[in-house]
Structure 1
Amino acid sequence: MANVILGLLLIRAMSQYDLVKAFEAGVSLFYSASSGSIKRALDGLLERGLVEIASQEEGGRGRKTYRVTAIGEAAFREWMLGDLVGGDMEAAALSRLYFLGHLPAAERPVVLERIQARIESGLAQLERLEAQVAAVDVPDELRDLAVYQRATLAYGLASHRFALDWFTQMHDEVGSREITS
């Protein structure tokens, strides 16, 4: 979540309220967060020097506006260009795609290639599981359950294949766009 917040703050300086609204307006399509989790992530970014307070209103609530520091920009760039980690491949891929425009044009294909590699790895893992499952003799009393477990696996395979095709097409489009620009 911290990197998503950095990406949003690279668009413009925002308050915590603005960040919550930005999550609701677009980021929530691939990454959900509560106001409390955004606050905790923002506090952590502030502690680590990745963001700073750009302004603070006087009186009452003292609304603070945050902006990314140079260290935060470097950390964001490192995250964008780094390997996709964690269990939620879709959120990891889409969060980078959402902010791909922050990177120089020449680096965008690199991010898409890392996403493709992560999807290919997950697909290979599911295909190995599919081969193992196919070799299992399911007892009669578990056949109904096994049907839906295999359907779940089939969904995962189809989802990974779709994502791989989609990101491959995006990579090709980004590459050709960079060549013609």
Structure 2
Amino acid sequence: MAHVILGLLLIAPQSYYDLIKAFEAGVGLFYSASSGSIKRALDRLLAQGLVEVADAESGGRGRKAYRPTGAGREEFGSWMAAPPTGSDAESGALARLYFLGLLEEAERLPVLRGIEERLEGDLAALQDLDRGLDTRDVPEGLHEVFAYQRATLDYGLAANRFALGRFRALIDRHERGEPPRD
């Protein structure tokens, strides 16, 4: 969450309310966050010195616009360069893709390759699980449960293959010097 906020603030200084709107307008399609989690992450970034107040309105509302500090820009760059971690590789990959245009041209391909590597590892793990299920005996009375669990795995395999194909296509376009999308 913090890195997504840093990315949004690198695009333009924004207030807490602007950040909520940014999540609602686009980022929330692949990275969900409540207003409370956005506020907590913004407060942590401020406490860590990764963002600062860029501008504050005087008067009743006292609306503050935030921007990344030099340390915040470095933290964002380090996060972008690292492959997605955790159990939800898709949201980490999509968040990096969303902000890839903030990086220098030469920095983009390694990010895409890191995502590709993570997706390949996830696909291999799902394929191992799939092969292992073929040798399992399903207890009596659980065949329907197992069938839907297997359907869930099939979905995961298909989704991972699709994501891997999309990122490989982006890598190919990048290597050919083409824009990410026509």
Given the two structures, how large is their TM-score scaled by the length of structure 1? 0.96
2:32 is matched with which residue?
32
Q: Which runs of 4+ in 1 moved over 6 A?
A: none
Aligned length: 178
2:91 is matched with which residue?
91
2:75 is matched with which residue?
75
How far is the alpha carbon of 1:11 from its aligned partner? 0.5
Which amino acid is the alignment partner of residue 156 of structure 1? G
- Relative to its length, the structure with more helix (as a share) is 1
2:17 is matched with which residue?
17
For residues 3-39 of structure 1, the C-alpha deviation after alignment (integer angstroms, 9 at most, x for no partner) is 0000000000000000000111100110111111111
Alignment of 1:93-172 (within 5 A): 93-172=93-172
> Distance between the aligned counterparts of 1:46 and 1:175, measured in 2?
38
> Distance between the aligned counterparts of 1:91 and 1:120, measured in 2?
16
2:51 is matched with which residue?
51
How far is the alpha carbon of 1:176 from its aligned partner? 1.2
Which amino acid is the alignment partner of residue 85 of structure 2? V
Question: Is 1:173 aligned to residue 168 of structure 2?
Answer: no
How far is the alpha carbon of 1:140 from its aligned partner? 3.2
Gaps in structure 1 of 5+ consecutive residues: none
How far is the alpha carbon of 1:127 from its aligned partner? 0.6
For residues 92-141 of structure 1, the C-alpha deviation after alignment (integer angstroms, 9 at most, x for no partner) is 00000000001111111100101011111111111111111110121331
> Distance between the aligned counterparts of 2:54 and 2:19, measured in 1?
14
Gaps in structure 2 of 5+ consecutive residues: none
> Distance between the aligned counterparts of 1:149 and 1:21, measured in 2?
37
SS at match of 1:17: helix
How far is the alpha carbon of 1:148 from its aligned partner? 0.8
2:65 is matched with which residue?
65
